[in-house]
Chains A and B, each alone.
Chain A
Amino acid sequence: MPMHVGLDAAGLITSVGPTLAKLIEGPLPLKVAFLKVFEVRRPAGITSIETLRERAGARLHVNLRGKGDAFRGLAVPTQGGGILLNLSFGIRLIDAVRQHALTDADFAPTDMAVEMLYLVEVKQAVMTELRRLNLSLQGAKATAEQQALTDTLTGLRNRRALQMALPALIAQGVDFALMHIDLDYFKQVNDNFGHAAGDVVLRAVADALAVETRASDTLARVGGDEFVVLLPGLSDTTRLAQIARRIIDQVMQPIEFESTTCCISASIGLTISTLYDGPDAARMLCDADNALYAAKRAGRAQVKFYQPHIDLSAVTDDLKTA
C-alpha cells in the first residue's frame, strides 16, 4: 500500500509506503515514534500509542508534522500488537498531486484518486462551456433588448421605435401632426408614493393615450414621463387641439394606487408637417419640444402649437378654449 505506515507494539514506525515516503522527503523515520512524525488531530486526545490502538477502526485526521500535508486515515491492529495505518489525501487530493507531482503509480489500484482528478477536469471543462454559453446568451439578450422597439413598462413604442417611425412617416409624404406630451406633477407622485405608484401612473397614461388616439397613430414613451404621438393624416389645428385637450382631461382622471389617489395632468406641445417646406425629424421634435416648453410656462394642463417665424417667448395663444 503506497500510503501506509506500519507500527510495532511500541508505536515505532517499521515501514512507510513509497508515496508517503515521497512526501516526507529526507531519510525514512524508521524506528521513530509515530506520534513524533505525525499528529492525530481528530479524534482528540490521541497522544499515545495506546489511545491510538483504542480508536482502531475510527476515521482519523492525521497531519504530517512540519509539513502542510493532512490525511484521512484508518488504523487497524496487526498480529503482535502492532498497528497498520492506511492514509489518503481525501478532498485535498488535487493540491497534493500538484505539490508533490504525484502520478498514477503513486496511488493504490483500489484508490479512486485518478478518477476523482478526471471528474474534476470534466466538471471544469463543462463549467467553462456553460459559462461561455451563458455569456453568449447574455450578450444576445442585451442585443435583443437594445434592438427592441417596445417600452417594457407601458407597452408603447420606445424612443428607438419613434426614431424609425418618424423619418418613415416623413418619407411617405403624408401630412401629419407630432404631439409631445410631458406629465405635470409626476415627480410628486414618485416622491410621495414611490416608484411603484409612478409606474402605475405611467401605465394609466399609456391607456389614456390609447383611448384618445386611433390605431394608426404611433404612441411612444420617449423618456421618464415624456410621450410622443404621431398622428398621420391630421393637420387641422382645431381638430388636433380637441384631441390634445381630451388626452389631458383623460390623464387628469384620478388614478388609484393602493389606498391613495394620484392626481396628475399633462402639458402638450404640437407641430404639424405642413408648417415645413421639407419636414425634418429632428427639427420637428425640437419645435414640438419648444411648444411644450411654452405650454409648461403657461401653467399646467396647457396645449401649445409651434408657430413658425415667431420668437419663442411670443408663442401665441393658448388653446384653453379650443
Chain B
Amino acid sequence: MHGLINRSIQCFLRDTYGAAVWMEIARKAGLGFDNFEPLLTYDASLTESVIEAAAQHLQRSRETVLEDLGTYLISHPNLEALRRLLRFGGVGFLDFLHSLEDLQEHGRLGLPDLEVPEFSLTDQGNGQFLLRVSQLIAGVGHVTVGLLRAMADDYGALVVLDHVGIESGQELVAVLLLDHAYSQGRRFDLALPVG
C-alpha cells in the first residue's frame, strides 16, 4: 500500500489521539517503526494491522475509526492540500460527486503508483445517488462516508449518507442530496494565496 495512504492513517491517529497513542498503536501493530514515509510503498498487510490495532486500542469499531479517518482527511488543517485538490473536482457538491469517478485518474496524475479506489456513481433521481467504491481496504465505504460528509460541509450542502452494504467487491454508499446550497460552506480560491 502506498506510503501516502499509510501516512494519512498515521497522521489521523496522531493528530486526533496524540503522539503517544499513535506510538502505542504502531507498537501493537508490530510495525517495527513509528513513521510511514509518504513516498515509499509498504506491504498491504501493514495497513491492515494498523487499522486493526487502532480499533482495538481505541476500543471503537473499525467502521467508526474509518469514518473518522474520512472526515479527518478533509477537515483537518494539516491536510488542507488534499481538501483543495478535491475541491478542484467541481464548483458545487453535485459536480464534486460526479468528479469522484475521475478520482483514480486524478490521483495517478500526481503519483502514478498511488492506489486510489474506483468510484462509480449512479443517479437514481430525486437527489438520490448510489456510489460504488472498489474495496482498496475493507471498510473503504466508511472512509467514503466520512469524507463525503466533510466535503458536503465544505460545499455547504445538506446530505444524508449511508453505508448500505457490499456487493461483488464494491462497497455501496447511498447519498441523498437534500440541498446543494444549505449553508455558506468554506471558501475556495482557485489559486493558493502567495506565501
Q: Is B91 an interface residue (CB 8 A)?
A: yes
Q: Is B192 an interface residue (CB 8 A)?
A: yes
Q: Give the docked Cα–Cα distance between A117 and B110 (Å).
A: 12
Residues of B within 8 A of A318 (CB): none
CB <8 Å contact, A130 and B109? no
Q: Give the docked Cα–Cα distance between A130 and B111 (Å).
A: 12
Which residues of chain B (78-106) have a CB below 8 Å from chain A? 81, 84-85, 88, 90-91, 106
CB <8 Å contact, A102 and B85? no
Residues of A within 8 A of B84 (CB): 121
Q: Give the docked Cα–Cα distance between A114 and B88 (Å).
A: 7
Q: Give the docked Cα–Cα distance between A97 and B193 (Å).
A: 10
Q: Give the docked Cα–Cα distance between A97 and B39 (Å).
A: 30
Instruction: Return the chain B residue nearest A126 by Cβ.
Output: B110
Interface of B is mostly: loop
Q: List 16 A-B contacts (CB under 8 A).
A: A94-B191, A97-B190, A97-B191, A103-B91, A103-B190, A104-B91, A105-B91, A114-B88, A117-B88, A117-B190, A121-B192, A124-B192, A125-B85, A129-B38, A129-B39, A136-B37
Which residues of A does B touch, CB under 8 Å? 94, 97-98, 101-105, 114, 117-119, 121-126, 128-130, 133, 136
Q: Give the docked Cα–Cα distance between A129 and B6 (Å).
A: 14
A-B pairs with beta carbons under 8 A, tally: 54
CB <8 Å contact, A118 and B106? yes
CB distance from A144 to the nearest CB of B (A): 16
CB <8 Å contact, A119 and B109? yes
Residues of A within 8 A of B191 (CB): 94, 97-98, 102, 117
Residues of A within 8 A of B43 (CB): none
CB distance from A180 to the nearest CB of B (A): 42
Q: A97-B191, A98-B193, A130-B39 in contact; A125/B81 too (CB < 8 A)?
A: yes
Residues of B within 8 A of A101 (CB): 189
Residues of B within 8 A of A123 (CB): 110
Residues of A within 8 A of B88 (CB): 114, 117-118, 121
Residues of A within 8 A of B20 (CB): none
Q: Give the docked Cα–Cα distance between A123 and B88 (Å).
A: 14
Instruction: Return the chain B residue nearest A118 by Cβ.
Output: B88
CB distance from A109 to the nearest CB of B (A): 12
Q: Give the docked Cα–Cα distance between A114 and B189 (Å).
A: 11
Instruction: Return the chain A residue nearest B188 by Cβ.
Output: A103
Q: Give the docked Cα–Cα distance between A118 and B189 (Å).
A: 12
Q: Give the docked Cα–Cα distance between A122 and B112 (Å).
A: 12
B 121-142 binary contact with A (CB < 8 Å = 1; else 0):
0000000000000000000000
* A114, A117, A118, A136: residue with the most chain B Cβ atoms closer than 10 Å: A118
Instruction: Return the chain A residue nearest B192 by Cβ.
Output: A121
Residues of B within 8 A of A128 (CB): 81
Q: A117-B88, A133-B39 in contact; A102/B190 too (CB < 8 A)?
A: yes
Q: Give the docked Cα–Cα distance between A128 and B111 (Å).
A: 13
CB <8 Å contact, B85 and A118? yes
Residues of B within 8 A of A104 (CB): 90-91, 190
CB distance from A136 to the nearest CB of B (A): 8
Q: Give the docked Cα–Cα distance between A117 and B188 (Å).
A: 13
Residues of A within 8 A of B4 (CB): 129
Q: Give the docked Cα–Cα distance between A101 and B88 (Å).
A: 15
CB <8 Å contact, A122 and B190? no
Which residues of chain B (166-195) have a CB below 8 Å from chain A? 189-194
Q: Give the docked Cα–Cα distance between A36 and B189 (Å).
A: 32
Q: Give the docked Cα–Cα distance between A117 and B106 (Å).
A: 12
